[in-house]
A and B are shown apart, each in its own frame.
Chain A
Amino acid sequence: MEQFFQQLTNGLAIGGIYALIALGYTMVYGVLRLINFAHGDLFTIGAYLGLTLLTSLALTEHLSGFLGVGLLALMVMGLVSLIGILLERIAYRPLRESHRLSAVVSALGASIFFQNAIMLIYGAKYYVYPQNLLPNTPIFILGMPIPLMRILILLASILMMIALYLFVQKTRIGTAIRATAIDQAAARLMGIDVNRVIMIVFCIGPALGGAAGMMVGIYYGQINFTMGWIYGLKAFTAAILGGIGNIPGAMLGGLLLGVIESLSSAYISMAWKDAIAFVVLILILIVRPTGLLGERVAEKI
């Protein structure tokens, strides 16, 4: 029971991180029908920028741990969203009217570029995040000690998801995003600046991804320039699992994938962990071809 609870909370924390990255995939897909394969690398950039700012600004020494990390996270999110906007301008906008797969290849090229840029700037070695940034005393829930870090990560990701959900559902810009996702041409006719909507989406997605990168650095303690591939792939899986283009779907898919992975590595086999996640994905897609919360696309006949 104790082990199950530990694995469950661990899975939820990782799942929260997956969900944050998955939101970037799903939002971009929603408005552009594009799988942004460079998104995983924006996540890595977030992790590296977070480390650089942590060590060079020493904010956490002057301010309290929470405030310092919070401020840094905001800065990282801002910087990564700038890179996201540039990425869209350079790599995706010229391909908007052409075949969908052309943009995918451009995204893959951008991904190779980012990965190697990080390697050239920082080197290929593993970097270690400073320890004890935040107090990590265990918290007792039902008599079981849960590391505070897990709860913080989960809380932070849920908070960001709720903020995003409210933004998309309640604000004018959010309404414009939803309208653009449904029908770009019609949205343009209704006076929505589609380019601006796409820019905002490429601001929010990478910002969340960058924040997730920093969380991984703080949670696991070490980062590497290739980690974006595997996290990106996992998050993309999560987005598909929930139904791509669907924001609550990405959240559900991320949390579910984290829990599945964590429990299967504990109870089935560590070596088969990644394979089990994919098997579950395939089984779910066989039963529900558009994911758990994906829209049911009516057959044309």
Chain B
Amino acid sequence: MKVSGPVPVIVFSALLLAAPLVLDHYWLDVLNSIGLYTILGLSLNIILGHAGMFNMGHAAFYAIGAYTTAILNTRYGVPVLWTLPISGLAAALFAVIVARPIIHLRGDYLLIVTIGMVEIVRIALINDIFGITGGANGIFGIDRPELFGFKLKRPQHFYYLIWLFVGMTVLLFTSLENSRFGRALNYLREDDVAAEGSGINTAVYKLAAFALGACWAGMTGTIFASKMTIISPESFSFWESVLLFMIVILGGAGNIAGVILGAFLVIGLPEIFRDFSTARMLIYGLAMMFMMIYRTQGILPPQPRVYRLDRVGEDL
């Protein structure tokens, strides 16, 4: 199953562009969810796939972004799209503060700490921390985004906004993967002692990976908040983090195409299994298990880097 070259990308993009012409609102909304989870999955992929840090609390950063937008918009009237960079920065700042003391923890210990982080954030939101999060009911009345005087409100509008964001993310993260930064992350994933010995400041790179992943999750939070116009703590539970974790590992950790496929499977399958009515999640659990057993490295594992002999010495 070797997928490479520009052809699949072009076909896939064309299909996505044409989708709103043939799909009804329900399926368009499913695709919107898949798009949001794709961005979240890609952002988690930086932390989990490339840097190899077990983060099962990614929904916390998503929540910070969504709540930043909701609070700024409903309390201070800041237009939604203006809050996009602010949400990203807020989530990144949060990630740096939280991750700084725990960054050195070994795999499974980091896993439970990130689970703890997402639970603490959720409980703090429910308990109306600082009196601005609206408690268990959340915040409602968030504006729709407005672009050059055009208000996005129909599912089709959000569809193009979300998938445009996906496209930009893919472009950016692809070049990031092949940059010095991406290679450094892969190195410290394989062996962080050797990476440290080769002059990579592992603590800084790990923190940077966390900050970048969190920043993207925060910006996704902005889009989610303006799409739903109402957000509550239950949208950002531990379960969301588990879904994101499954998207990355099942799709293929460290591979962008894999993560996109993972988002389609993990988010799309429950919709396809709707015919099984109450048994659909049962089938879903089995499907997750057997897909993982069938493709133990993920469905689309990353291809190893290729360095051609005749190009040695050229600047990569």
- Of chain B, the residue at the smallest CB distance from A99 is B297
A289 to B108, CA, bound (A): 11
Q: Please indicate which of the listed interface residues A102, A237, A272 has the most CB atoms of chain B within 10 Å of its own CB.
A: A102
Measured between beta carbons, the chain B residues less than 8 angstroms from A29 are 108
A278 to B122, CA, bound (A): 12
Task: For the complex, count residues of A whose C-beta is within 8 A of B.
Answer: 50
Measured between beta carbons, the chain B residues less than 8 angstroms from A290 are 106, 109
- With beta carbons under 8 angstroms apart, the residue of A101, A111, A289 that contacts B104 is A289
Known A-B contacts A101-B249, A236-B112; the reply to A113 vs B286 at CB < 8 A is yes
Q: Is the CB of A35 within 8 A of B108?
A: yes
Decide if A94 is an interface residue (CB 8 Å cutoff): yes
Measured between beta carbons, the chain B residues less than 8 angstroms from A115 are 281, 285
Q: Is the CB of B289 within 8 A of A272?
A: no
Decide if B162 is an interface residue (CB 8 Å cutoff): no
Known A-B contacts A108-B246, A286-B102, A291-B109; the reply to A120 vs B282 at CB < 8 A is yes
Smallest CB separation, B246 vs chain A (Å): 5
Size category of the B interface is 35 or more
* Main SS class of interface, B: helix
Q: Is the CB of A275 within 8 A of B119?
A: yes
Measured between beta carbons, the chain A residues less than 8 angstroms from B109 are 240, 244, 285, 289-291
Measured between beta carbons, the chain B residues less than 8 angstroms from A240 are 108-109, 112
Q: Mark B114-127, 1 if CB is under 8 A from A, else 0.
A: 01110110011011
Measured between beta carbons, the chain B residues less than 8 angstroms from A274 are 119, 123
Measured between beta carbons, the chain B residues less than 8 angstroms from A133 are none
A274 to B238, CA, bound (A): 13
Q: Is the CB of B116 within 8 A of A237?
A: yes
Known A-B contacts A104-B249, A110-B285, A110-B289; the reply to A271 vs B126 at CB < 8 A is yes
- With beta carbons under 8 angstroms apart, the residue of B108, B238, B281, B297 that contacts A102 is B297
Smallest CB separation, A256 vs chain B (Å): 15
Q: Mark A274-301, 1 if CB is under 8 A from B, else 0.
A: 1100110110011001110000010111
Measured between beta carbons, the chain A residues less than 8 angstroms from B127 are 271-272
Decide if A56 is an interface residue (CB 8 Å cutoff): no
Measured between beta carbons, the chain B residues less than 8 angstroms from A271 are 123, 126-127
Q: Please indicate which of the listed interface residues B116, B120, B246 has the most CB atoms of chain A within 10 Å of its own CB.
A: B116
Decide if A162 is an interface residue (CB 8 Å cutoff): no
Q: Mark B52-63, 1 if CB is under 8 A from A, else 0.
A: 001000000000
Decide if A130 is an interface residue (CB 8 Å cutoff): no
Q: Mark B250-288, 1 if CB is under 8 A from A, else 0.
A: 100100000000000000000000000011011011111
- With beta carbons under 8 angstroms apart, the residue of A100, A112, A285 that contacts B113 is A285
B-contacting residues, A209-240, CB 8 Å: 233, 236-237, 240
Decide if A134 is an interface residue (CB 8 Å cutoff): no
- Of chain A, the residue at the smallest CB distance from B247 is A105
Measured between beta carbons, the chain B residues less than 8 angstroms from A285 are 102, 105, 109, 113
Q: Is the CB of B246 within 8 A of A272?
A: no
- Of chain A, the residue at the smallest CB distance from B280 is A116
Smallest CB separation, A223 vs chain B (Å): 19
Q: Mark A112-150, 1 if CB is under 8 A from B, else 0.
A: 111111011000000000000000000000000000000
- With beta carbons under 8 angstroms apart, the residue of B285, B288, B296 that contacts A94 is B296
Decide if B28 is an interface residue (CB 8 Å cutoff): no
Decide if A187 is an interface residue (CB 8 Å cutoff): no
Decide if A156 is an interface residue (CB 8 Å cutoff): no
Smallest CB separation, A132 vs chain B (Å): 35
Known A-B contacts A106-B292, A275-B123, A281-B116; the reply to A112 vs B281 at CB < 8 A is yes
B-contacting residues, A69-115, CB 8 Å: 90-91, 94-95, 97-106, 108-115
Chain B residues proximal to chain A, CB less than 8 Å: 54, 101-102, 104-109, 111-113, 115-117, 119-120, 123-124, 126-127, 193, 197, 238, 242, 245-246, 249-250, 253, 278-279, 281-282, 284-290, 292-293, 296-298
Q: Report the 7 A-B pairs with minimum CB-CB distance, sorted nearest first.
A: A109-B288, A112-B285, A113-B285, A278-B116, A98-B296, A109-B289, A116-B282
